[in-house]
Every structure is written in C-alpha cells, then in structure tokens.
C-alpha cells in the first residue's frame, strides 16, 4: 500500500465524529517527502467542525512546510470520498494543483489532480 494512503487510513482512526459518525483521515506530503496527517474533528455546532484535509494542511504549514506534492484522503465508503468545497479552496490556495489520492478501507483508490475537482478556482489572481 502507498505509504501516504496508509498514513491517511491511520489518521482516520483518530477522528472525532460523535455526531455524524463519518470519520475521515488525510495525509499531506510536502516536496521533501515529509507526511503531515489530519483527521476530522466535529463540533456540536457543525460550523466549527474542521475537515481532515484542512487539519493536515494547517498542521503542515504550522510546522514550516510550504510546498506540497500530494494528499491522500481516506474514508470508510464504497464510493471514494473527495474533499469538500471548503477543503478544495484551501488546498488550491496553499498547495496548488497537487495530486489527490482517494482511498477507502477496502483497498480501492483513485488519483487525480486538484484541478480536475476544482476546475475554476477563486484565488489571489482575482484580487490584483
């Protein structure tokens, strides 16, 4: 198994999802090969919930990473689960057009570029 996928599956086990029961793990690889993991953490207000992908990105940035290669997202679903819209926006702004690796607990996987999931992103280019 791809080490990045394995890290995402392991991170999923640490998710805090008492309301939805939907546990997600993410593992983000920087250009140096370091892996930063994240899991979803739910709040009763839902609006304060943070997804696994954003947790991984924010952790990587907090630890000094600035350039990224790819991210793996793991969920226990038959249909592979892509990042939500908010995560796509954060991934685009901070990581660029990285590879997205979707995996489930049954061993299924699919890889794509972020641009295929987020074809017309809003970013700093519109602010000039």
Q: What span, in angstroms and rounded, lies between the C-alpha atoms of 37 and 76?
A: 17
Catalytic residue among 10, 31, 32, 53: 53
φ, ψ at 109 (rounded to 5°): -155, 155
Q: Any catalytic annotation for residue 29?
A: no
CA distances from 59 to 44, 64, 109, 118, 119 (A): 23, 9, 24, 22, 26
The Cα angle at residue 93 between residues 127 and 70, in degrees rounded to 5: 160
Q: What span, in angstroms and rounded, lies between the C-alpha atoms of 16 and 23?
A: 7
**Residues that are catalytic:** 53
């Amino acid at each position: 198994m791809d080490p990045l996928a394995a890290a995402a599956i392991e991170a999923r086990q640490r998710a805090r999802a008492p309301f939805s029961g939907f546990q997600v793990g993410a593992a983000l690889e920087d250009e140096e090969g370091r892996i930063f993991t994240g899991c979803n953490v739910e709040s009763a207000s839902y609006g304060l919930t943070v997804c696994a992908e954003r947790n991984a990105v924010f952790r990587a940035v907090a630890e000094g990473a600035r350039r990224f290669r790819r991210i793996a997202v793991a969920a226990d679903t038959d249909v592979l689960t892509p990042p939500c819209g908010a995560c796509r926006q954060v991934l685009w702004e901070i990581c660029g057009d990285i590879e997205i690796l979707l995996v489930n607990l049954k061993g299924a996987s699919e890889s794509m570029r972020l641009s295929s999931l987020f074809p017309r992103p809003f970013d700093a280019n519109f602010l000039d």
